[in-house]
Amino acid sequence: MKIDCRLLIRIGCGSTKVRASFCSYRKPLKRRLAVVPQGGNTGLVGGSVPVFNEVIINMASMDKIISLDKVNGILTCEAGCILENLNNYLTSEGFIMPLDLGAKGSCQIGGNVSTNAGGLRFIRYGSLHGNILGLEVVLANGTVLDMLGTLRKDNTGYDLKHLFIGSEGSLGIVTKVSILTPAKLLSTNLAFLACNDYLSCQKLLFEAKRELGEVLSAFEFMDSHAIDLVLGHLEGLRNPLPTSSYKFYVLIETTGSDESYDKAKLEAFLLHSMECALVSDGVIAQDISQASTFWRIREGISEASVKLGAVYKYDLSLPVEKLYDIVEEMSQRLGDVAKVVGYGHLGDGNLHLNILTAEYSDDILAKIEPFVYEWTSMHRGSISAEHGLGLMKADKIHYSKSSETVQLMASIKKLLDPNCILNPYKVLPQSVL
């Protein structure tokens, strides 16, 4: 991969001065220069890095909140707004963003849309395809496509905005977003639980969906390697269940509108789960500070995993019943040379598989790939649950999608971007373009 030169254009709009620069990103497009749209640059698959001579279009200065419809909870903003800033603004108005990620402090909403970000609130509020109400998008020929509606229902023709959600900037550049934001509910409770085996985690998920029903807002899991990693390498954290060591840990969050009732509900669920022996031990956070410590453990895994040396990261969707098998098989396959860590959004069937070694080695990579992709494909999983394909996995798309589907994707790419100037070399293999 050779980077010859990179021209950075900042995009903004609003004032006269800024309107000029708003238009400036259309110049390279009109001149058929290849461009790479770049948000917070927090992606893990190389979706926002230039490969050869592409112009980087940096969206950071398009960070205005345009409007908030307080009756319906609909936020309209520019694509460069940082997720955490949007959430802070909404919280002060009685709403929240329907998505939450570890990278919230730097990722931008345009990037979230372009990568169809999932994250921690997915189990409660679902995917961006359900929450994005409208988009403004710049096409490869410089046309600004106004689909910035704020209606919950609109069945007038094809719902084209979905083409751009998750297409990683390769079909158009998202410049404005309108999004449905749920009401901020006042009562949040968080339990940190231990399970002795993976089957108990699964059964606990099933029971939580039934018993906690409408208040369940997160169901995260991590294995003991993930916990050891965080506690061993991040400062100031300790295991909330210190007396013994368990194989699996689960974080269950509920969010509702009635503090005392919601807490009692979670306590009753925890008690019942312990009586049924689904849960071996557990604790409910007593205050915000303890809750944020619990979350810090879960969210710190990614940060801690790089401290050992090299990390091979995989982001898989799998049927929940099979989800942990790949961690165990990979661990056996690699033996002592690597530590295999499994964690993720169990409630959404999403495993983050991290393989840690002292240093990077082609031999180890050859043992991991294509095995991990073949295994996932064989179980009808997805080789990229929420990280996208970007540059690193563009050639792997056939593990998750049929060749007819990939062919249709390529036709649509060629229709919208005939000169292949939008985020080239990403998402689709060059062989189909």
Pick between residue 115 and residue 239 the one whose CB is nearest to a copy of itself: 115
**Shortest distance, CB of residue 188 to a copy of itself, whole angstroms?**
12
Rounded Cα–Cα distance for residues 394 and 408 (Å): 15
Local structure of residue 382 (DSSP, 8 states): B
Q: How far apart are CA 26 and CA 138, in angstroms?
A: 8
Stretch that binds a copy of itself, among 281-289, 327-335, 361-369, 391-399 (CB under 8 A): 391-399
CB hemisphere CA count around 67 (13 angstroms): 9
Q: Is 384 in the site for a copy of itself (CB under 8 A)?
A: yes
Q: Which stretch binds a copy of itself (CB under 8 A): 7-15, 67-75, 224-232, 270-278?
A: 67-75
Binding test (CB under 8 A) with a copy of itself, winner from 76, 108, 115, 175:
115
Residue list 186-205, contact with a copy of itself (CB under 8 A): 202, 205
Considering the rule CB under 8 A, would residue 419 count as an interface residue with a copy of itself?
Answer: no
Interaction residues for a copy of itself, span 252-271 (CB under 8 A) = 255-258, 261, 265
Closest CB 349 distance from a copy of itself, rounded Å: 6
Task: Please tell me whether residue 369 binds a copy of itself under the rule CB under 8 A.
Answer: no
Q: Which secondary structure element, helix H or strand E, spans residue 96, and what is its range?
A: none
List the structure tokens of 384.
């990229």
Which of 159, 328 has the CB closer to a copy of itself? Answer: 159
Cα torsion at 316, 319, 325, 330 (round to 10°)? -20
Under a CB-based contact definition with an 8 Å cutoff, are residues 64 and 77 in contact? yes
90 touching a copy of itself, by CB under 8 A: no
Residues 31-60 that bind a copy of itself (CB under 8 A): none
Under the binding rule (CB under 8 A), the answer on residue 207 touching a copy of itself is no
Instruction: Report the C-alpha gap between 378 and 399 in whole angstroms.
Output: 9
Instruction: Tell me the number of residues near a copy of itself by CB under 8 A.
Output: 95
Q: Which is nearer to a copy of itself, 339 or 393 (CB)?
A: 393
Nearest by Cα to 187 from 261, 124, 90, 119: 261
* Separation of alpha carbons 394 and 390, rounded Å: 6
Per CB under 8 A, the list member of 67, 411, 419, 430 interacting with a copy of itself is: 411
Residue 103 CA to chain centroid, in angstroms? 9
